[in-house]
Amino acid sequence: MLLGLDAREYSILVIKKLNKTIKKDLPTTLDVEKPYFFQKLDNCILHIAENERINVSSQHKLFQIIRKIPHYFSLLLIFLSLFGMKSNNTTVENGLAL
């Protein structure tokens, strides 16, 4: 936290405001009000940080790649679960019928 600004809370606020703004233009939006949405994003950050830590290690490149595979696989699963997440239909909220 720098100068009273929590980066995670700020990111959550920005994502929620962005999602609210795009509801006006897009027929569907992600349901970012579910707590597991941000938990999944936090898990992504942890896996990416671990891959960065592996990158700066002095291990042989082959071993680095092997150590990173589980993290890439976990990221893929998280992205797929986010992709498959139930979305909000905004056409009803905007008064549009498709």
CA atoms in the 13 A half-sphere facing the CB of 39: 5
Domain boundaries, the chain: 7-89
Q: What pLDDT, on a 0 to 100 scale, did the predictor assign at position 70?
A: 97
pLDDT at 69: 97
Asked if 80 contacts 10 with a C-beta cutoff of 8 angstroms, the reply is: no
12 pLDDT above the threshold of 70 = yes
Q: What's the chain's length in residues?
A: 98
pLDDT confidence tier of residue 31, bands split at 50, 70 and 90: confident
* Calpha distance 24→46 (Å, rounded): 33
The reported pLDDT for the residue numbered 48 is 96
- Summarize pLDDT for 48-94 with one digit per residue, the tens: 999 999 999 999 999 999 999 999 999 999 999 988 888 777 665 55
Write b or e for each residue in 32-56: b if 16 or more Cβ atoms lie within 10 A of its Cβ, otherwise e: beeeebbebbeebeebeeebeebee
| Number of Cβ within a 10 Å radius of residue 29 | 19
pLDDT at 97 over 60: no
